Amino acid sequence: FSTARITAIGTYTPDRVLTNEELEQMIETSDEWIVKRTGIRTRRIAAEQEFTSDLIFAAIENMLSRYPVELSDVDYIIVATSTPDTIFPSMAARVQAKFSIAQCGAIDVSAACAGFTASIQLANSLLLSGVYKKILVVGADAMSKITDYTDRSTCILFGDGAGAIVMEYTTDQPGCLLASFSRTDGNGGHQVYLSQLAPTIEQTPIQTNGKIVQNGREVYRWAVTNVSKGIQQLLADHEYTIDDIDWFVPHSANMRIVEAILERTGIPREKTLTSMEQFGNTSAASIPLALDQAVQQGIVKQGDNLLLYGFGGGLTEAAVFIRW
Ligand code: ACO
């Protein structure tokens, strides 16, 4: 064999819980509306002086406390985030310094809610090509820093969190990546975005306020249609069926999107792992948060087939079908 395996996982969410009842005090909304439309009950919010790098460090510490994994020989770091404390230095470079990793490459990946799965796809290719032997992959976002808490159509959705995994080259076990898939529809870029600089995307005027702006209905329609078709295409192209999926881990944008995807694809609800009920939409962290909860509870077992499917701003999708 000449393959790549996931050998460790860790996660972190801030202590501060923001409930639907608290949001009722901040904007005109109700717990009932939020739960019915999104399935979200609570989110975690970073402290004022707690940033994405802090969430990442804590997720990695959590991983180190649970797995006998060495970081000193990591030779590449990939951090997927849309909320870096600084655009440069990258969050990946901050991780290199924090954990005193001697020699390694480090990049941040910008693919919004598809960032974590896109990074697994990248890491797997770098490992299989023989360029690197051990890669630290992180998905992390402090969405509260870019959320407009006066906009009731978006502020009910987002939360903060981070997840980290280690992927290693191996020659004695079957690989973890069974199939992968990625595609982008940049013409829909203006449907959900964060802008501080340019006042247009192509010819479309946008707000330059440093906060998330979205057309919720369009994002909903795009996600349900494209992710459902994407799942069917990924499986068919590699001669798998829905029955080969032990666990489906979609990006936890909101429960209604996930339910519509389940209805269209026939994936059973009881095989689906989500994190939005407790943590809201945590963007690049939502998939590792849902996965790690199930790993810690012993629900996901070694040898299980997992379909991780990220989708979001771009508009972009990245899916990986992996064996745990
Ligand atoms: N509380 C109460 N009422 C609200 C709220 C709220 N928080 N937000 C909006 N409303 C009202 C609107 O003002 C509107 O009222 P009106 O009919 O009097 O004008 C009504 O509810 C319906 O508004 P819509 O925006 O049409 O509501 P919709 O049914 O589309 O639900 C939602 C909004 C939940 C955002 C939905 O569009 C959605 O799930 N979209 C997907 C977007 C998403 O998940 N994005 C995440 C980021 S991108 C990603 O991760 C993929």
Which ipTM was obtained for this model? Answer: 0.93
Question: What pLDDT, in 10s, does the model give residues 31-87?
Answer: 999 999 999 999 999 999 999 999 999 999 999 999 999 999 999 999 999 999 999
Count CB-CB contacts under 10 A for residue 233.
Answer: 14
Q: Please work out, in degrees rounded to the nearest 5, the angle formed at the alpha carbon of residue 168 by the alpha carbons of 103 and 64.
A: 75
Output the CA 153–ligand 1 centroid distance in Å. Answer: 5
Tokens for 97, please give them.
């310094």
Output the CA 40–ligand 1 centroid distance in Å. Answer: 13
Global pTM reads: 0.96
Examine the pLDDT at 173 and tell me if it is beyond 80.
no
pLDDT band at 126 (very low <50, low <70, confident <90, very high): very high
Residue nearest to atom 35 of ligand 1 (CA): 216
Contact 47, 17 (CB under 8 A): no
pLDDT band at 147 (very low <50, low <70, confident <90, very high): very high
Q: What does the alpha-carbon distance between residue 22 and residue 30 come to, in Å, rounded to a whole number?
A: 10
Name residues contacting ligand 1 (CB within 6 A): 29, 33, 37-38, 113, 152-153, 156-157, 192, 214, 216-217, 219-220, 223, 251, 253-254, 256-257, 281, 311-313
pLDDT score recorded for residue 1: 52
Pocket test for ligand 1, best of 217, 218, 258, 275 (most atoms within 8 A of CB): 217
3-state DSSP assignment of residue 8: strand
pLDDT band at 2 (very low <50, low <70, confident <90, very high): low
Active site residues: 113, 251, 281
Q: What does the alpha-carbon distance between residue 117 and residue 54 come to, in Å, rounded to a whole number?
A: 21
3-state DSSP assignment of residue 160: strand
More confident of the two residues 79 and 195: 79
Q: Indicate the average pLDDT of the chain.
A: 96
Taking alpha carbons only, the member of 165, 159, 160 closest to residue 119 is 165
